[in-house]
Amino acid sequence: MRIIGIDYGASRTGVAVSDELGFMAHRVETISDTSRKNVIDRIKNLAEKYEAGIIVVGLPKNMNNTIGQRGIATLKFIELLKESVSCRVIPWDERLSTVSAINILSETDIRGKKRKATVDAVAAEIILQGYLDYKNSKSAANYEEEV
């Protein structure tokens, strides 16, 4: 089962997808659209294409763990997405994912328009990889407890 990662933004939404085994996240695309309906339709198409069982949406939180304006907008987006897709939708703490994505792109010398077009997909990849690492570490811990 593949898992999709989403970095939802006001003007762009990054999308990443896991490999079939659920170990690695890979960038898919950046959706450059401000219409929530269009973004949800595109994500629904991608979920069907990749036969995703879970969609992980980055939830922006403040450093003190509160939810601000962007987080509230993302929670509304998550509720609409849940109504539109047949798979499970999970919010995932995304603090500093965009900062990490910018740092990664700076290290690789990607600048200007190309960075702007890529940063959201990289952030989605970071969000999804964080979820996959957590999920896999929990699976490993459960396995060790059973042995």
Instruction: State the Cα–Cα distance between residues 88 and 77, nearest whole angstrom.
Output: 14
pLDDT at residue 110 in the model:
52
Which numeric CATH code is attached to 2-146?
A: 3.30.420.140
**Does residue 102 register a pLDDT over 70?**
no
Asked whether the beta carbons of 31 and 6 are under 8 A apart, the reply is no
**Does residue 95 register a pLDDT over 90?**
no
List residues bridging with 29 in a β-sheet. 15
- Which amino acid, one-letter code, is at 142? N
Smallest CA-to-CA distance from 70 within 85, 60, 57 is with: 60
pLDDT band per the 50, 70, 90 thresholds, residue 147: very low
**Does residue 145 register a pLDDT over 80?**
no
pLDDT band per the 50, 70, 90 thresholds, residue 106: low
pLDDT at residue 143 in the model:
39
Instruction: State the Cα–Cα distance between residues 120 and 101, nearest whole angstrom.
Output: 8
Listed in sequence order, the DSSP H helices in the chain are 36-49, 69-84, 97-107, 112-146
Smallest CA-to-CA distance from 4 within 101, 131, 134 is with: 131
pLDDT band per the 50, 70, 90 thresholds, residue 137: confident
Q: Domains of the chain: which residue ranges? A: 2-146
* Least trusted range by pLDDT, from 32-36, 50-54, 92-96, 120-124: 92-96
pLDDT band per the 50, 70, 90 thresholds, residue 146: very low
**Does residue 57 register a pLDDT over 70?**
yes
N- to C-terminal Cα separation, the chain: 25
Burial class, 44, CB count within 10 angstroms (exposed 0-12 / middle 13-18 / buried 19+): middle
Mean pLDDT computed over every residue of the chain: 84
